[in-house]
Structure 1
Amino acid sequence: MWGLTVRGICEFNEKFLLLKVRSKSAHDAGKWEIPGGKVKKCEFFDEALKREYFEETGLEIDIKSLYNVVRNDYTACKTSEEVKSIQLIMKVTCDSEDVKISEEHDEFGWFDMDEVEEMISKDLLTPPAVNAFKN
């Protein structure tokens, strides 16, 4: 099975928004990720990204460009099915740094590129986030 995920790299005041996956998550618990999520059936991916971003951060975004495309394979929690996931990483902007995270995440942070690179070296980011920032 193939899936499509869309994520948005948001830069505000030269810092990038990352969300910490909740500690009880079945995938990548405690690691930092780029906001976004799965595209629903018959949903345009840009609308999916705006929906997911708002659900996870409370931020309304504008999509500016394609940043990167990465693949992330995983086992579905509910069905144990192997999923090959293509992740579209979009460059997005927002008008505020006032984030209101959902229950999917334990915390959020705005990090400059040096901090992101340090987090990568310490294995603190999810594999798709690492691959996205290697652009």
Structure 2
Amino acid sequence: MINHVYGLAVRVFLTDENGKILILKRSTDSKTNPGKWELPGGKVDQDESFDHALTREVYEETKLKIALDHVVGAAEQNLHIIRAVHIIMSGNVVEGELTLSSEHEGYAWVYSKNLSNYELADWLEDYITNKNNILDQGKRDGKQENKTTEDAKNILKPWVNSIKDSMDKIVKKK
């Protein structure tokens, strides 16, 4: 039995040549996380691949063209009606001059160690806290190299299965 309807979103840790990460400040008019900082990205449309959705969303939000590297993790966000699963990737800017859409009212390039100086969106705050806990545990166990990848797979599997079940039910109704 499915207790939640799941939505899928994609985000990116965009890094510059100095190793700084791009974060965007949500508009204070936003329904979710108003005025808080988040990674660029957004919803995956039906029949859209993760990578296409992410490059599209980043361009819509910033006018930047990006190249993606790989998946670095996942985060969950409980909204009023749905539970959003954020697939987080890494990438870099290929071209463009940063121009914000109306969804955001500010941006900053920051070192990851300074992210705690910003009021982050709830899902990003949870992701960073959990990732740090995983990294700390891996250091204690001496198993640093694959700990975060395995954990991300374990976290994603039930979400992906639930999304698949939800989609199967929707398709059967049509």
TM-score bracket relative to the smaller structure: 0.7 to 0.9
Q: Which has the higher contact order (CA 8 A, sep 6+)?
A: 1
SS at match of 2:99: coil
Query: Are 1:61 and 2:60 counterparts?
Result: no
Query: Are 1:4 and 2:8 counterparts?
Result: yes
User: Shift of residue 83 of structure 1?
Assistant: 0.3
Q: Which structure features the higher share of strand residues?
A: 1
- The residue number in structure 1 matching 2:164 is none
Query: Are 1:28 and 2:33 counterparts?
Result: yes
SS at match of 2:45: coil
Q: Which structure features the higher share of helix residues?
A: 2
- The residue number in structure 1 matching 2:122 is 127
Against the structure 1 CA distance between its residues 59 and 97, is the aligned structure 2 distance closer, same or farther, given a 3 Å change threshold?
Answer: closer
Q: Percent identity?
A: 30
RMSD across aligned positions (CA): 1.4
Query: Does structure 1 retain, via aligned residues, the 8 Å contact 2:13–2:91?
Result: yes
- The residue number in structure 2 matching 1:73 is 78
SS at match of 1:132: helix
Query: Does structure 1 retain, via aligned residues, the 8 Å contact 2:67–2:94?
Result: no
Unmatched tracts of structure 1, length 5 or more:
76-81
AA aligned to 1:85 is A
